[in-house]
């Protein structure tokens, strides 16, 4: 199950402070793009937008991303 957007690991993931490697190429590319977006605009609004986008991706592909979800949020 994908944790809610309020889970404390979303922010470090998006900000690049949480070391993780995705086995899924699409998830890796999305994460890199969102991390770069947040480096260019470090505002809370930009960070929340990135979390929203990553969360939606995880919800959509939850079954495929189960190992990543377990590694990041457990």
Instruction: Outline where DSSP puts E strands in 1-74.
Output: none
Is 90 exceeded by the pLDDT of residue 21? no
Residue 4 lies in a domain: no
pLDDT at 42: 93
Is 90 exceeded by the pLDDT of residue 73? yes
Number of domains, the chain: 1
- The total of other beta-carbon atoms located within 10 Å of residue 8's CB is 8
Residue 49 lies in a domain: yes
Which of the four pLDDT bands, split at 50, 70 and 90, describes residue 74? confident
pLDDT tens figures, 28-53:
999 999 999 999 999 999 999 999 99
Residue 55 lies in a domain: yes
Residue 14 lies in a domain: yes
Which of the four pLDDT bands, split at 50, 70 and 90, describes residue 57? very high
Range of the domain at 22: 10-73
Residue 60 lies in a domain: yes
Q: How far is CA 57 from CA 24, 32, 34, 67, in A?
A: 12, 14, 12, 15
């Amino acid at each position: 199950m994908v944790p809610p957007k309020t889970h404390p690991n979303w922010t470090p993931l998006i900000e690049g402070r949480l070391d993780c490697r995705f086995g899924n190429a699409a998830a890796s590319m999305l994460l890199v793009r969102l991390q770069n977006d947040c480096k260019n605009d470090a505002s809370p609004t930009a960070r929340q937008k990135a979390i929203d986008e990553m969360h939606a991706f995880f919800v959509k592909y939850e079954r495929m991303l189960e190992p990543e979800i377990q590694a990041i949020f457990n």
